[in-house]
């Protein structure tokens, strides 16, 4: 039976610019290309889960506008249950401007729009699920309500604390697994009054608790994890990266799915690294979200001794 996944999160229309470099204050940088993609951490993770084989339900908000209509149509095409995605009048669907440099790295400017209107009431009647994915792009109170509900039912609660500005201790306490990138993990460590240095495994271990594992994503260096008193480091497979947009979301979805299917952390992180790597091989977030057969093939091809 397929994993039942629930995503409570964001939907963002990306207006992507490819630039030779990011602008300095007061500088105009001429883009070499421009495109429009559906994205947002919640949307990306939901679609990635569906493509990886999960049965996915989405809770979120869009504006009563063209962008919102497009999101609802796209979720239906991907087989995601969008019956709990609300269209709100008086606010726009969220928009972001990713700036992609030639090395495939990406930075963002974002207007949160309807994502900030998702209230705890929207998460008051959640369906049963095996795993819940949360991010930092919606109201922390809403995420906290959803996390507590699913944790009480025994589901796995996975939190991607990005951005970390509104991620407080109460929300962190609802999570079974926290997946920050290296910058976010360092910020969480400073808040906790710890300084594990530059060792990614030590950073993950410093943030992990008895009830919560931590997986720190490291971009092209892979990921470090700490769980149940153990730590590990996984290098990603080599690919020709062109755009990192959506790679972290693919990683989060794949890790959540693999853990829910009963795999240990080393195997789950290896699967997630392959999913994240594949996401970088296409331009845009949504086009790069990988399918399960492709992830499994890449894992098999890069397994030691293969």
pLDDT single digits (tens) 34-47:
989 899 999 999 99
Q: Identify the CATH number of the domain defined by range 4-302.
A: 3.40.1190.20
Catalytic amino acids?
249
**Whole-angstrom distance, CA of residue 97 vs CA of residue 279:** 18
Q: Which one is predicted more confidently, 73 or 99? A: 73
Return all residues near 234 (Cβ < 8 A) that are at least 6 apart: 222, 223, 224, 225, 266, 269, 270, 273
Give burial (CB, 10 Å; 0-12/13-18/19+) of 20: exposed
At residue 305, the pLDDT reads 52
Segment 182-201 mean pLDDT: 89
- Residue 82, H or E segment: strand 81-88
At residue 240, the pLDDT reads 92
At residue 109, the pLDDT reads 84
Neighbours of 154 (CB within 10 A): 8
Q: Closest Cα to residue 163, out of 152, 154, 171?
A: 171
At residue 198, the pLDDT reads 81
At residue 304, the pLDDT reads 62
At residue 3, the pLDDT reads 97
**Whole-angstrom distance, CA of residue 205 vs CA of residue 215:** 9
What average pLDDT does the chain have? 93
- How do the domains of the chain map onto residue ranges? 4-302
**Whole-angstrom distance, CA of residue 56 vs CA of residue 45:** 10
**Whole-angstrom distance, CA of residue 298 vs CA of residue 87:** 38
- Residue 71, H or E segment: helix 66-77
Segment 197-224 mean pLDDT: 94
Segment 230-248 mean pLDDT: 92
Q: Closest Cα to residue 177, out of 216, 124, 145, 223?
A: 216
Q: Which one is predicted more confidently, 163 or 151? A: 151
Segment 224-252 mean pLDDT: 94
């Amino acid at each position: 039976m397929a994993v039942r996944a629930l995503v409570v999160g964001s939907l963002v229309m990306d207006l992507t610019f490819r630039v030779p470099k990011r602008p300095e204050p007061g500088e105009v940088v001429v883009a070499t290309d421009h495109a429009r993609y559906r994205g947002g951490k919640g949307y990306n993770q939901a679609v990635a889960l569906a493509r990886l084989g999960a049965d996915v339900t989405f809770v979120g908000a869009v504006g009563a506008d063209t962008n919102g209509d497009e999101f609802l149509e796209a979720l239906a095409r991907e087989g995601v249950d969008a019956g709990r995605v609300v269209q709100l009048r008086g606010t726009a669907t969220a928009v972001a401007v990713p700036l992609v440099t030639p090395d495939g790295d990406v930075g963002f400017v974002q207007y949160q729009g309807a994502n900030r209107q998702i209230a705890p009431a929207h998460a008051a009647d959640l369906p049963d699920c095996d795993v819940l994915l949360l991010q930092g792009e919606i109201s922390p109170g809403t995420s906290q309500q959803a996390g507590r509900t699913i944790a009480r039912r025994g589901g796995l609660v996975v939190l991607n604390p990005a951005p970390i500005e509104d991620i407080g201790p109460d929300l962190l306490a609802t999570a079974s697994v926290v997946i920050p990138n290296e910058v976010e993990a360092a910020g969480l460590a400073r808040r906790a009054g710890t300084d594990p240095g530059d060792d990614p495994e030590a950073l993950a271990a410093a943030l992990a608790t008895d009830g919560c594992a931590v997986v720190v994503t490291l971009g092209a260096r892979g990921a470090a994890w700490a769980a149940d008193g153990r730590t590990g480091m996984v290098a990603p497979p080599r690919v020709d990266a062109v755009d990192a947009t959506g790679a972290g979301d693919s990683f989060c979805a794949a890790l959540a799915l693999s853990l829910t299917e009963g795999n240990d952390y080393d195997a789950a992180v290896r699967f997630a690294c392959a999913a994240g790597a594949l996401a970088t091989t296409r331009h845009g977030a949504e086009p790069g979200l990988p399918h399960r057969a492709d992830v499994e093939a890449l894992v098999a091809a890069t397994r030691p001794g293969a």
